[in-house]
Structure 1
Amino acid sequence: MTESNGSTAPQRTEEMPDWEKRFRAPRVSLPDWAEDAPDRSLFVSNATGTYELYAWERSTGEQRQVTNRANGTTDGVLSPDGAWIWWFDDKDGDEFGVWRRQPFEGGEDELATPGLDPSYPAGLALGRDGRTAVVGRSTDEDGTTIHVARLGEPPFELYRHRESAGVGDLSHDGTLIAVEHTEHGDAMHSALRVLRPDGTTVAELDDTEGGTRELGLEVLGFAPVAGDTRLLIGHQRRGRWEPLVWDVATGTQTDLALDLPGDVSAEWYPDGSGLLIVHGFEARSELFRYDFAGGGLEKVATPAGTVSGATARPDGSVEYLWSSAAEPPSVRSTTGGPVLDPPGMKSPGSVPVQDVWVEGPGGRIHALVQKPAGATGPLPTVFDIHGGPTWHDSDAFAAGPAAWVDHGYAVIRVNYRGSTGYGRAWTDALKVRVGLIELEDIEAVREWAVSSGLADPARLILTGGSWGGYLTLLGLGVQPEAWTLGIAAVPVADYVTAYHDEMEALKAMDRTLLGGTPEEVPERFDASSPLTYVDAVTAPVYLSAGVNDPRCPIRQIDNYVKRLEMRGADHEVYRYDAGHGSLVVDERIKQVRLELDFAERHLGPQGG
């Protein structure tokens, strides 16, 4: 067993392997900018070795670090007037805390919402008046509450419900508040309600028909124009995510009916004349402008790969965060050149990703494959399983898979049923037989990898983090003959205990996935729990976990480890002082090094 006891000093750059450089190289997020002060921006960077918030005054180029906490900070919001930076203050990554704010120019932090106790965050929207905030909160005792907090006044409770909900947006003039809620009990598909600040209802929109249909809605934002009551939302009425414009005052719905095959999201151009469209299809993305006057789409040129975020600026230009599996991320603009180019060491690239489609029990499965340049099979192969589960792997830069490739492994990432990006039916297939459905798809891709000659069946590693870690442990027990090693990070290991210890919003999601609580459907929780199959595990297992994790709590991992110990099973455990993963670069590198060393000790060096 290994415990975290601090980071070692980084090696000199010239002695550092490429895989480590990819983690250490300074990165920046897509900068957020203040609606009424667009030269003021907020971004996240790892420049100090820990991911923290930074303020950027574009007119002068001045940048300054806003937060400085041992375990890092990434959750921040810039007020519309650019005067304040709000950031969420939790304890060592446990996600339970309060909002604080700091002047954009710098100064002392202050409690942003006096009168509100600590909670898990459930959305935040800031008013243009500089004194109003709509604050979403989640606790085990209260469920979800939403408050209107005004400076100098006690917070007003706008909304309360036991089921999960969240703040959607606040209108330009502050008179309308959009709320996403799951009062019907389906945590995967939200309905919408628009309220006035006094709590009275203006409009409702519910595509679930009280939970009888699996159709969700999401808030994309109010029109950025004074007096405009249009709300941009996402819907799933044609089996995928698409935008429409809902005028909450008149009830009029304008369906854009865009002729694009994949999931579509959107945000307003700052003058409200059009929409910036983000289209995701088969693990890649592209941008368009939709003009309300003409009703047509105009392509916004971006390279092939993945756009992780995009925003339209007041001058009509578009800034976006782009990467591919082979090229590290960069913040770019349609005006040309990088927007925010961090100084210091540059990240090495990696190898391109190859697309593979495999027939599975629920339809065609998309997998992304990387392998060392010039390598021929059969190769030691890592199945790197994504978390979520409502997420998907894409043609985007990822330092973890690149590290395995550097060491001579092929890496396969599977967008199993439950993944986003392949239509509503594919995502919603993950019900009742949770975990087992995903493993069927992973097994189909594993069979292809072996039969095609790519993967060596005697050197197969199953790994992943969060839900991917859960599927790793479940796969080792359900498919013990299929895997040589298992490496699980921040996993669900004991589903029943995890349910009782996790944050309330995740309990709601588990009830949706499995159809009830562990007491109501015990057989389903048992069938989907790695702990049920722990005695069948034959492969050596490596587990890592954050001791403050509210999503995959430590007690349920300890339960799994104790069962391995009782059997004398080959396993190693690494616990570290953080929550659901670490924002400290040294700590992340330490974890990857431990995983690589574990594989080498069991499989031998593979090259690289």
Structure 2
Amino acid sequence: MDGMSEPRWVQRYRAARISLPDWAEDAPDRAAFVSNATGTFEIYAWDRASGQRRRVTDRPNGTTSAVLPPDGRHIWWFDDTDGDEFGVWKRQPFDGGPDEAAVPGLRPSFPAGLVLGRDGTAYVGRSTDGEGTTVFRCSPGADPQEIYRHQESGGVGDLSHDGRLLCLEHTEHGDSMHSSLRVVDAATGAARADLDDVTGQAEPHGLACLGFAPVADDTRMLVAHQRRGRWEPMVWDPVSGEQREIELGLPGDVQAEWYPDGSALLVEHTHHARSELYRYDLAAGRLERLETPSGSVSGATARPDGSVEYLWSSAAEPSQVRSTAGHLVLEPPGPRAPGSVPVEDAWVAGPGGKVHALVQRPDAAEFGAGPHPTVFEIHGGPAWHDSDAFAPGPAAWVDHGYAVVRINYRGSTGYGQEWTDALKHRVGLIELEDIAAVREWAVSSRLADPERLVLAGGSWGGYLTLLGLGTQPESWAVGLAAVPVADYVTAYHDEMEGLKALDRTLLGGTPEQVPERFEASSPLTYVEAVRAPVFISAGTNDPRCPIRQIENYVARLEKSGKPHEVYRYDAGHGSLVVDERIKQVRLELAFAAAHLGTAAPRG
């Protein structure tokens, strides 16, 4: 079957997509991006002057992590094993050639940031079991030099333009949800300045390094802070100590980056699941709206000519790399993905405040006015949020006559720090309270057929799916859990070090210190109560939701005689191979159809 004769949901997955191109600071015509043009997500080089594109990586399970040094002479990419996220950095000449070890002498690890200096020096963040976080200074021709080590999670932020100051993000205070910043001497690791909104604070606030000023002889750093209960920008000079909080009067979360000449900030404002762009003139204190279509901006960058390039989409329209100059920046090869239906907003009263949900309805002419079989597609993270952005998964369900409801439960970003931080100690159970409130609304409004409700999600969404099937067994007809946490205690012991730190923060300690909290939040605790048939898909190399804890849950399902299917595949936390992803969606559609009596998968 050729691509154009395949059903629309398959065409959406097959259509080539591209990420926002990243460009070399001192060679802005040299750029790199990620694309699935060959059927697997890989790194590509793009010479903007000549228009030439070429594939840099070619690995069976794909590659998505790449960094360009300021001179753009090489592309650095992270080489793991079949998606296990444990590996080393390699590099390849920008114009092509053999790959080589980028930092000889460093053992494999989980990545914890990378920044590249103008003199060829690399600062490599690493995370490993037993070592916590380490940062190495790697100069050409010299052995790697350790300049930072701590048992808690952290990583590399940015390097000053002159290469003398290095910013580290760290959680030495033990709260992995709220990072602090330390600026160190890049040569020795000696501390030069600290910015900490956690230690000694009645209410901790997070900080994030957004980058040093991109001009010579300028030690200012752009920082994101939460001092007023949401993300906002601040300019901090770690040398002078001056702090300039920038109050923009925008109601949602605000992130920013420098314009290349350091005179202004490119502001990305996220509010109620949609985003927009602004330019903020630092000298004049003036905020100017940049025209973008309604929907979501998934990344933006200011170019040396003052234009802004951004990756945009909406639930109805596939993503495009656009420019504020009025043109498409880079178009992928082949046909564009078919569109889908727009989202509607629903605000539902929940136990912790109003819950925002995004709703997509199937075509009434083909499937009637409802109530519909409904998929409650739960996002991962948990520090993430669903937005008015294009997603082929929900669109596939809509094509098959399902309504889709996506819920920004407590724990989601984009609704203020209090909403994001609400999860502590009753992890999973709090989110499910919000999901239950939206479910009741969907049924009472006659959107959703109460006998055909599907709880589904991946990663943290897969975890909430399994937990919901056990704690709300009468509410759901089918469960679809992709790469989930299933046995929280075993997951903690097997997962990557940074996630262990997050779990200690969320639950208040280790499984040995707070066993009752881990038990209350673990899907394994409630497996005997599960009534709905459950489909579980899992990557055998997943370091985030490892396979052993999933096998423990499956064994209990089998012992209890619960209806279930398990699909295991050779990858990590999800697949970067298009055919594999199509296979998984087809299996989920077929599983739901078999148990709900809905239409079989098209194609």
Q: Normalization by structure 1: what TM-score?
A: 0.97
Q: Is the 8 A contact 2:30 2:72 kept in 1?
A: yes
* 1:51-79: CA deviation from partner (whole Å, max 9, x where unpaired): 00000001100000000000000000111
Q: Distance in 1 between matches of 2:254 and 2:569?
A: 38
Q: 1:496 aligns with which of 485, 489, 495?
A: 489
2:160 — aligned with what?
Answer: 171
Q: Is the 8 A contact 1:264 1:279 kept in 2?
A: yes
The structural deviation recorded for 1:210 is 4.5
Q: Distance in 2 between matches of 1:199 and 1:558?
A: 43
The structural deviation recorded for 1:557 is 0.2
The structural deviation recorded for 1:604 is 1.6
Are 2:458 and 1:465 equivalent residues in the alignment?
A: yes
Q: Distance in 1 between matches of 2:145 and 2:199?
A: 30
Q: Distance in 1 between matches of 2:99 and 2:452?
A: 52
Are 2:252 and 1:262 equivalent residues in the alignment?
A: yes
Q: Distance in 2 between matches of 1:254 and 1:534?
A: 52
1:138 — aligned with what?
Answer: 127
The structural deviation recorded for 1:115 is 1.2
Unaligned runs of 5+ in 2: none
Q: Distance in 2 between matches of 1:148 and 1:214?
A: 31
Q: Is the 8 A contact 1:290 1:298 kept in 2?
A: yes
Q: 1:438 aligns with which of 415, 428, 431?
A: 431
The structural deviation recorded for 1:156 is 1.1
Are 2:2 and 1:12 equivalent residues in the alignment?
A: yes
Are 2:513 and 1:524 equivalent residues in the alignment?
A: no
2:388 — aligned with what?
Answer: 395
1:370 — aligned with what?
Answer: 360
2:215 — aligned with what?
Answer: 225
2:563 — aligned with what?
Answer: 570
Q: Distance in 2 between matches of 1:587 and 1:373?
A: 28
Q: 2:503 aligns with which of 490, 501, 510?
A: 510
Q: Is the 8 A contact 1:409 1:606 kept in 2?
A: no
1:313 maps to a residue whose letter is R
Larger deviation, residues 343-352 vs 466-475: 343-352
Q: 1:453 aligns with which of 425, 446, 450?
A: 446
Are 2:400 and 1:410 equivalent residues in the alignment?
A: no
Q: Is the 8 A contact 1:383 1:461 kept in 2?
A: yes
Are 2:535 and 1:546 equivalent residues in the alignment?
A: no
Unaligned runs of 5+ in 1: 1-10
The structural deviation recorded for 1:212 is 5.0
2:549 maps to a residue whose letter is Q
* 1:243-294: CA deviation from partner (whole Å, max 9, x where unpaired): 0000111000011111100000000000000000000000000000000121
SS in 1 for 2:330: coil
Larger deviation, residues 370-379 vs 563-572: 370-379
Are 2:53 and 1:63 equivalent residues in the alignment?
A: yes
SS in 1 for 2:573: coil
Q: Distance in 1 between matches of 2:560 and 2:521?
A: 21
Alignment of 1:125-524 (within 5 A): 125-129=115-119, 131-197=120-186, 198-210=188-200, 213-374=203-364, 375-524=368-517
The structural deviation recorded for 1:335 is 1.0
Larger deviation, residues 211-220 vs 251-260: 211-220
Q: Is the 8 A contact 1:184 1:210 kept in 2?
A: no
1:94 — aligned with what?
Answer: 84
2:159 maps to a residue whose letter is L
SS in 1 for 2:493: helix
Q: 2:579 aligns with which of 561, 582, 586?
A: 586
Q: Distance in 2 between matches of 1:13 and 1:220?
A: 41
Q: Distance in 1 between matches of 2:303 and 2:266?
A: 10
* 1:543-596: CA deviation from partner (whole Å, max 9, x where unpaired): 000000000000000000000100111000000000000000000000000000
Q: Distance in 1 between matches of 2:200 and 2:42?
A: 41
Give the alignment's Cα RMSD to 1 decimal. 0.9
Pick closer, same or farther for the CA change 1:567–1:211 going to 2, 3 Å: farther
Q: Distance in 1 between matches of 2:336 and 2:318?
A: 9
Q: Distance in 1 between matches of 2:524 and 2:192?
A: 48
SS in 1 for 2:502: helix
Q: Is the 8 A contact 2:131 2:150 kept in 1?
A: yes
1:165 maps to a residue whose letter is G
Q: Distance in 2 between matches of 1:162 and 1:269?
A: 36
SS in 1 for 2:536: strand
Q: Distance in 2 between matches of 1:395 and 1:15?
A: 28
* Percent of pairs with identical residues: 72
The structural deviation recorded for 1:387 is 0.1
Q: Distance in 1 between matches of 2:189 and 2:582?
A: 48
Q: Is the 8 A contact 2:3 2:14 kept in 1?
A: no
Q: Distance in 2 between matches of 1:244 and 1:38?
A: 26
Q: Distance in 1 between matches of 2:513 and 2:42?
A: 42
Give the number of aligned pairs. 597
SS in 1 for 2:566: strand
The structural deviation recorded for 1:373 is 2.5
Q: Normalization by structure 2: what TM-score?
A: 0.98
1:51 — aligned with what?
Answer: 41
The structural deviation recorded for 1:355 is 0.2
* 1:326-360: CA deviation from partner (whole Å, max 9, x where unpaired): 00000000111210001112100000000000000
SS in 2 for 1:429: helix
2:69 — aligned with what?
Answer: 79
* 1:117-136: CA deviation from partner (whole Å, max 9, x where unpaired): 0000000000012x101100
Q: 1:124 aligns with which of 114, 117, 134?
A: 114
SS in 2 for 1:70: coil
Q: Distance in 1 between matches of 2:115 and 2:554?
A: 42
Q: Distance in 2 between matches of 1:75 and 1:132?
A: 19
Q: Distance in 2 between matches of 1:511 and 1:214?
A: 16
Which structure exhibits the higher relative contact order, with contacts defined as CA atoms closer than 8 Å and separated by 6 or more residues?
1
Q: Is the 8 A contact 2:4 2:11 kept in 1?
A: no
The structural deviation recorded for 1:605 is 2.5
SS in 1 for 2:467: helix
SS in 1 for 2:470: helix
Q: Distance in 2 between matches of 1:526 and 1:29?
A: 40
Q: Is the 8 A contact 1:195 1:201 kept in 2?
A: yes
Q: Distance in 1 between matches of 2:338 and 2:460?
A: 28
2:24 — aligned with what?
Answer: 34
Q: Is the 8 A contact 1:380 1:606 kept in 2?
A: no
Pick closer, same or farther for the CA change 1:479–1:507 going to 2, 3 Å: same
1:497 maps to a residue whose letter is T
